[in-house]
């Protein structure tokens, strides 16, 4: 592992000081945590590093600013240091998980339109669902920032829905985080954290097989294999080493 100074350790990642001021190194661990459940999914960090790199790059290409700079090695990527807005932004296309539980709806029901939800980032409180009223009243974010966050989250959703659909995967929901990137006196909101099967629900288009962290949460087994399948379909599985990167495999 890296000898750099550790600045933060979360459930799935460690952040180290980067080589230049304003940069960080994001290290992807194999650890998995979901509510009370803890485990290790061998190879998960390598796959998430690669999948998140790929998705952030594609999003960057359509004009979504992200914190991603470049992948350094199998488990690390260089990112820009941002001030994280303390919100987990969830976008949903299909009922699943906590929405199914909270409102007693059947998992798998298509939503009439995409829904954006905000959760306040607090491990102690278990990331409670909050409204824009709470967020702006308590100063976690401003109304202007929230407008931008909502707009970006929906653009990310539209793009990722299409990208995954093209490889035979339904994007059920996902969670993202945003940060403030300060450059001199200017500030812009950028996509931060990661986008991977750890924070998306991805179902096979034909069979509804789960290809995401629900395999861990619900003890379904074959977890790393599912993450690997996502990478394989995106054409980014490193079968023959770092030069072996095909494009996405279109599903018929």
Smallest distance, ligand UDP to C-beta of residue 125, A: 12
Smallest distance, ligand UDP to C-beta of residue 113, A: 17
Smallest distance, ligand UDP to C-beta of residue 173, A: 4
Smallest distance, ligand UDP to C-beta of residue 130, A: 13
6 phi/psi in degrees, rounded to 5: -85, 130
C-beta closer to ligand UDP: residue 53 or 117: 117
Which residues are registered as beta bridge partners of 84? 179
Smallest distance, ligand UDP to C-beta of residue 83, A: 20
Query: What is the C-alpha to C-alpha distance for residues 229 and 69, in angstroms, rounded to an integer?
Result: 25
C-beta closer to ligand UDP: residue 65 or 97: 97
Smallest distance, ligand UDP to C-beta of residue 56, A: 16
C-beta closer to ligand UDP: residue 18 or 216: 216
C-beta closer to ligand UDP: residue 127 or 148: 127
C-beta closer to ligand UDP: residue 200 or 231: 200
Nearest CA to 59 among 185, 193, 182, 173?
Answer: 193
Q: How many CB atoms lie within 10 A of CB 102?
A: 9
C-beta closer to ligand UDP: residue 18 or 157: 157
C-beta closer to ligand UDP: residue 170 or 175: 175
Smallest distance, ligand UDP to C-beta of residue 196, A: 9
Please state, in angstroms and as integers, the Cα–Cα distance from residue 196 to each residue in 124, 145, 175, following that order: 24, 24, 10
Binding residues (CB under 6 A) for ligand UDP: these are 88, 90, 96-99, 127, 173-175, 199-201, 213
Query: What is the C-alpha to C-alpha distance for residues 227 and 32, in angstroms, rounded to an integer?
Result: 13
Q: Which residue is nearest to ligand UDP (CB)?
A: 97
């Amino acid at each position: 592992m890296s000898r750099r100074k550790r600045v933060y350790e979360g459930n799935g990642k460690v952040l180290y000081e980067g080589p230049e001021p304003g940069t960080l190194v994001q290290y992807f661990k194999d650890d998995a945590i979901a509510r009370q459940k803890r485990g290790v999914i061998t190879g998960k960090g390598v796959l998430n590093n690669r999948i998140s790199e790929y998705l952030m790059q594609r999003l960057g290409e359509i004009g979504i600013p992200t914190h991603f700079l470049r992948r350094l090695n199998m488990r690390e990527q260089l990112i820009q240091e941002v001030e994280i807005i303390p919100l987990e932004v969830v976008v949903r296309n299909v009922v699943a998980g906590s929405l199914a539980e909270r409102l007693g709806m059947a998992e798998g029901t298509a939503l009439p339109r995409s829904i954006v939800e905000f959760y306040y980032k607090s491990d102690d409180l278990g990331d409670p669902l909050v409204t824009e009223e709470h967020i702006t009243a308590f100063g976690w974010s401003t109304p202007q920032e929230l407008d931008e966050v909502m707009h970006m989250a929906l653009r990310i959703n539209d793009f990722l829905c299409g990208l995954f659909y093209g490889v035979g995967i339904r994007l059920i929901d996902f969670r993202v985080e945003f940060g403030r990137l300060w450059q001199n006196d200017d500030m812009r909101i950028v996509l931060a954290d990661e986008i991977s099967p750890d924070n998306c629900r991805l179902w096979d288009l034909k069979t509804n097989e789960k290809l995401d962290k629900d395999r861990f949460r619900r003890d379904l087994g074959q977890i790393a294999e599912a993450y690997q399948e996502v990478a394989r379909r995106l054409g980014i599985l490193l079968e023959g080493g770092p030069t072996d990167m095909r494009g996405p495999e279109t599903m018929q």
